[in-house]
């Protein structure tokens, strides 16, 4: 697989999408809840004029996982902040950057950060840690097998069903992270 470089290592690509987003911002066309309808849309919609997160890879050289992350953050921001977020997101990315480890590092942090991570709230900390360990292996450059991600998902899902409601939410989050990773791996 060819390594993605942000904006395909071309300033002209970044400028094209910044210009597009600026026009949507000025026309008040950045909205929540719709990808791309009638010239209006969400962060992803206004960036690629569609809903296919994979186009971030082909058009912008940005991993689709980051498009999904941008999408999730955008939809949960207050409206005023959400309208500015797509421009802030793209402007923060340096042309030619290798962003391949951003999502794994973010998910790892989300799972095990002692102050803000899921593990802080989990009763089945070992389940959350097991998923985080897979991400750490990936961050360290190891090619983690699809079967490893699948096994972690099964263990996390099993723990979610066996646990009480508060712990189930934590284990389910870990299961979702493992599932997302296994699905992303399968896509390649």
Task: Say if CB 103 and CB 180 are below 8 A apart.
Answer: no
* Interacting residues of 125 by C-beta distance below 8 A, sequence separation 6+: 119
What pLDDT score was predicted for residue 147? 94
Whether the Cβ atoms of residue 137 and residue 159 lie closer than 8 Å to each other: no
Q: What is the pLDDT of residue 170?
A: 55
d(CA 164, CA 160): 8
Residue 168 has pLDDT above 60, yes or no: no
58-92: per-residue pLDDT in tens? 999 999 999 999 999 999 999 999 999 999 999 99
What average pLDDT is seen over the chain?
A: 88
Report the pLDDT averaged over residues 45-65.
Answer: 97
Beta-strand ranges (E) seen in 66-112 are none
pLDDT at 188: 36
Sign of the C-alpha dihedral computed for residues 75, 40, 43 and 67 taken in this order: positive
């Amino acid at each position: 697989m060819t390594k993605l470089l942000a904006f395909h290592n071309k300033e002209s690509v970044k400028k094209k999408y910044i210009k597009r987003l600026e026009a949507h911002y000025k026309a008040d066309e950045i909205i929540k809840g719709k990808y791309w309808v009638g010239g209006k849309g969400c962060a992803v919609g206004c960036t690629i004029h569609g809903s296919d997160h994979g186009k971030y890879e082909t058009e912008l050289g940005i991993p689709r996982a980051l498009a999904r992350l941008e999408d999730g953050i955008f939809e949960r921001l207050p409206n005023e902040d959400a309208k500015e977020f797509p421009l802030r997101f793209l402007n923060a990315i340096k042309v030619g950057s290798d962003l391949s480890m951003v999502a794994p590092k973010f998910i790892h942090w989300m799972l095990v950060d002692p102050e803000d991570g899921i593990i802080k709230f989990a009763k089945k900390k070992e389940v959350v840690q097991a998923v985080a360990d897979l991400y750490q292996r990936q961050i360290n450059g190891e090619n983690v097998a699809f079967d490893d991600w699948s096994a972690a998902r099964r263990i996390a899902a099993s723990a979610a069903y066996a646990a009480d409601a508060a712990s189930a939410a934590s284990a389910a989050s870990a299961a979702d992270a493992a599932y997302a990773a296994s699905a992303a791996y399968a896509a390649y």
